[in-house]
Structure formats: C-alpha cells, structure tokens
Structure 1
Amino acid sequence: MNKQSLVLFAHGARAASWATPFERLRELTQARMPEVRVALAFLELMTPSLPELVAELSADDVTQITVVPVFLGQGGHVLRDLPLMVEQLRIDYPQATINVVEAAGENAAVLNALSDYCVASLPA
C-alpha cells in the first residue's frame, strides 16, 4: 500500500506567530484525512524545509507526496524556487512520487471563498 502525505508549503517568517494560521490549516486538513499524513514545510526562515520534510517522509516509507503551495500568488518562489527544489528532490528520492498542485491563491474555489469573506466583511 502506498503511504501518502500532503505537504502544505508556505514561505516562512521570522516571527513564530506567523505560522499559526498555517498550523490551523494543517490541523483542519489532517482532521478531514486521518489516513494521510498532513505536514507543513517552509521555504525559508522556519523549519522544516521541504527537503528536510521529504527526507523524513522518505525515511517513513511515504511514496506519494503532494505539495500544496499555500501562496496567494505565483511569484518567483512558486514559479522558480519550488520547481527547482522539487526537481532535485525527485532525483534524491526516486522511490517517491512528488506532485505539486497550483498555488492556493490560483484556485477558483479558494478565490471564491476569499471573495465571500471580503463581501461578508461589509457592515449590513
């Protein structure tokens, strides 16, 4: 049986409190999929990094890894840094299938949810 993991990939920041909403997203997602390991990885300034996490997952015999960039837009990190990182990880861990989906902010359902929130924020 293939062991799966869903990796929420975020930028990272110096302030530990910055990660709180990402931790909450991880918890909510994990609760919906108890059979899949849901983990957070960061591009910089926080740990674990994506390479560190993939090494850990590989050591735990995880063979299916899906990376969800939790970014609103597709800037240089999503368009350049992440593909290069994943390309190297595919070389380093050929036993694992690593898929990357679109950035969260590029997804129509996510944008609609944010729009709903924005509209609802106006006083009645």
Structure 2
Amino acid sequence: MGAHGMILFGHGARDARWAEPFERLAAKLAAARGDSGPVGLAFLELMTPDLPAAVAAQVAAGCDTITVIPVFFGQGGHVRRDLPQIVAQCETAHPGVRIRCAGAVGEDDAVLDAVVRYCLETGAA
C-alpha cells in the first residue's frame, strides 16, 4: 500500500507573493501530518505547478491515494467545473491512483468559525 498525499489547490496569481499564505498552510499541514504522506501545492493558472504536475510528483513519490483540497472560499465555477475536469485528466494519466476531492475550504463551518474569530480579534485590536 502506497502513501496518501494531499494537494492544496489554489487559483494562482501573477504576483508570486500571493502564494505565500498557501506555502505557509502547506508547511503547517505537512508538519501536522508528519510521516503520513507528502503535502503539495497546485494552481489552476498563472503559477506552477499545475494540478497534473503536482499529482504526477506525488505518484512518483509513491502515493496511491491523493486528496485534493480546493483552497477556495466557495464552490464557484473553478471548483464545480474546472477542477473535476482536471481531476478526470489526472485519473486517466494515473489509472491506479485514487484521487479524491474535498469541498472548498470556505464551505466548512470550522473554517468560517476561524474567520469569524479572526475578524472579532482584529476588530478588538
């Protein structure tokens, strides 16, 4: 049985600094997971790696299961339409690998609660 990888999937931007919080999130997730499997980043556009390259890297590292986590606030067209198409391409390219997509992080109540706490703390400062 191979490793279980995780890929944080974001939109991407022209300004490289835009990726900094995603890189910090990936590092925190990797530290929290320990030896459970690799954590990677992938972007829809304007930045690299794209999702097919990130999946290929995790497959090369021995992953047979990969969870893609869209780091989007909502289930817009990129998450509902573009992401499933890209995942289907990845599944075709790696037929022995199970690729699962989580919902957009902003759809989760725990994430929204964390944002509310941040807003309250920021407003109190």
Q: TM-score range by the shorter chain?
A: over 0.9
Instruction: Count how many residue pairs are aligned between Structure 1 and Structure 2.
Output: 124
Residue 54 of structure 1 aligns with which residue?
55
Residue 121 of structure 1 aligns with which residue?
122
String of CA shifts for 1:14-63, please: whole Å, max 9, x gaps. 00100000000011111111212011011011100000111122222210
String of CA shifts for 1:63-111, please: whole Å, max 9, x gaps. 0100000001111100100011111211211110000001000011001
Residue 88 of structure 1 aligns with which residue?
89
The secondary structure found in structure 2 opposite 1:19 is: helix
| 8 A contact 2:7–2:40 mirrored in 1 | yes
- Quote the Cα distance in structure 2 between the aligned partners of 1:70 and 1:51: 17
| 8 A contact 2:38–2:58 mirrored in 1 | no
Residue 98 of structure 1 aligns with which residue?
99
Q: Which consecutive unaligned segments of at least 5 residues does structure 1 have?
A: none
- Quote the Cα distance in structure 2 between the aligned partners of 1:75 and 1:6: 21
Identity across matched positions, percent? 49
**Could you tell which deviates more after superposition, 39-48 or 57-66?**
57-66
Q: Give RMSD over aligned pairs.
A: 1.1
Residue 26 of structure 1 aligns with which residue?
26
TM-score calculated relative to the size of structure 1: 0.95
Which aligned runs of 4 or more in structure 1 are off by greater than 4 angstroms?
A: none
Q: Which consecutive unaligned segments of at least 5 residues does structure 2 have?
A: none
